[in-house]
């Protein structure tokens, strides 16, 4: 791209050899004036997608509205004065069944004749493949969840004695199946949540939420899990007055995930502690474990999708590696942030920072007064 821009910048007319070189490029290329944003040139490949022909000897060419509008919006967004300092941009253009990724590079000097270069890449097939894959994942997940829920329910009834007494050996086998059905449902829910996040379709029902109450709810939900691993979950320093404007159900989902991870990677007899306090302009929830910690060379991958890091512990079943990526997405969608500290042999602390309600309300009031 930089070489292409230098090549164009040295030429004064589209009849020059530079245009002949661009015509041989298979990707559509469009150049437009960095000051007026009028199209100066497009190569033969761009001519095909623009569905227009180049007039003989014309220096200024017209693009169809759907294509020209993209560049107009780019100019407005970046600002003509900022163009010399603008970094290369990537844009998505969708027109009918076509989907293009456009890479824009800007001149280093804003002067007469300076041009912006746009290179188009047709990603229609790639986008369609992603869409079909997401659709398949969503459909399969939904179809699996219903029968799995029914199977889990039936096994729960048997374990509760609704079918009469069962031998201890059979009970043990059903308990194993029941736990694995539970795990499969959690995996499916993670996949569905990831699908919603990718599509921007995850919904949040934000209300004024007392954070200490939701912490208590999350601890209750992991009680059976912590008993199974022989790990204690305790409340440490807790400011019960702190309130944030968040979705309480999504917050509990975040806390259950963090607590479950802390429990899995703690030794039997260990303790996981939850703290809540003010931290700068945020309300900070901290989940602390005294487990084995996360190796430093793996910490940068912690929030990546389908990645599991850390020392393999004694009984943690394999998960999807999606939990923490979903946790981060949920926290950030609600104006928060998540961070961690970890030392091998000492354990890990996860910090969830949520906007304090008073600050959130003040921001909304200021915004409202400005728009009146």
Closest CA to 357 of 211, 225, 166: 211
pLDDT at 86: 60
pLDDT at 56: 41
Task: List, for residues 191-217, the tens digit of each pLDDT value.
Answer: 777 777 776 777 888 999 999 999 999
- Which pair of tokens denotes residue 109? 């000097």
pLDDT at 358: 53
pLDDT at 55: 54
User: Three-state SS string across 98-159, please?
Assistant: EEEEEEEECCCCCCCCCEEEEEEEECHHHHHHHHHHHHHHHHHHHHHHHHHHHHHHHHHHHH
Closest CA to 4 of 79, 104, 113: 104
pLDDT at 319: 55
Q: Which residues of the chain have pLDDT under 70?
A: 1-19, 50-87, 95, 110, 126-131, 133-134, 137-138, 199, 305-322, 358-372
Domains and CATH numbers, the chain: 2-122 (3.30.450.20), 128-199 (1.10.287.130), 207-361 (3.30.565.10)
Sheet holding 29-33: strands in order across? 39-42, 29-33, 115-122, 98-105, 89-95
Contacts of 240 (CB under 8 A, 6+ apart): 210, 212, 276
The answer to whether the predicted template modeling score (pTM) of the entire model surpasses 0.85 is: no
- Torsions phi, psi for 287 (to 5 deg): -110, 120
pLDDT at 112: 74
- The DSSP secondary-structure symbol of 347 reads E
pLDDT at 73: 58
Beta bridge pairs of residue 119? 29, 103
- Which pair of tokens denotes residue 300? 């940068």
pLDDT at 313: 46
pLDDT at 129: 67
């Amino acid at each position: 791209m930089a070489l292409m821009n230098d090549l164009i910048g040295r030429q004064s007319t589209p009849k020059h050899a530079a245009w002949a070189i661009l015509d041989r490029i298979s990707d559509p290329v469009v150049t437009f004036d960095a000051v007026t944003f009028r199209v100066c040139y497009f190569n033969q490949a761009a001519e095909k997608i623009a569905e227009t022909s180049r007039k003989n000897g014309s220096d200024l060419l017209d693009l169809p509205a759907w294509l020209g509008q993209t560049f107009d919006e780019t100019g407005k967004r970046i600002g003509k004065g900022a163009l010399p300092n603008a970094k290369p941009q990537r844009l998505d253009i969708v027109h009918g069944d076509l989907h293009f990724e456009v890479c824009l590079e800007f001149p280093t000097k804003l002067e007469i004749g300076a041009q912006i270069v746009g290179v188009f890449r047709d990603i229609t097939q790639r986008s369609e493949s992603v869409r079909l894959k997401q659709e398949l994942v969503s459909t399969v997940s939904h179809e699996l969840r219903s029968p799995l829920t029914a199977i889990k329910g039936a096994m729960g009834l048997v374990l509760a004695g609704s079918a009469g007494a069962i031998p201890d050996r059979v009970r043990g086998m059903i308990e194993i199946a029941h736990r694995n059905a539970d795990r499969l449902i959690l995996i499916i829910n993670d996949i569905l949540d990831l699908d919603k996040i990718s599509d921007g379709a995850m919904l949040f029902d934000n209300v004024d939420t007392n954070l200490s109450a939701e912490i208590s709810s999350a601890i209750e939900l992991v009680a059976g899990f912590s008993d199974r691993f022989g790990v204690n979950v305790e409340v440490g320093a807790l400011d019960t007055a702190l309130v944030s404007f968040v979705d309480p159900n999504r917050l509990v989902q975040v806390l259950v995930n963090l607590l479950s991870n802390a429990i899995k990677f703690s030794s039997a007899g260990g303790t996981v502690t939850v703290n809540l306090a003010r931290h700068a302009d945020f309300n900070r929830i901290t989940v602390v474990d005294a487990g084995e910690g996360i190796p430093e060379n793996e910490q940068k991958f912690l929030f990546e999708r389908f990645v599991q890091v850390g020392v393999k512990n004694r009984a943690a079943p394999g998960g999807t590696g999606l939990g923490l990526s979903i946790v981060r997405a949920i926290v950030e969608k609600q104006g928060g942030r998540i961070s961690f500290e970890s030392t091998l042999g000492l354990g890990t602390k996860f910090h969830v920072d949520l906007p304090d309600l008073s600050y959130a309300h003040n921001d909304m009031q200021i915004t409202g007064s400005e728009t009146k």
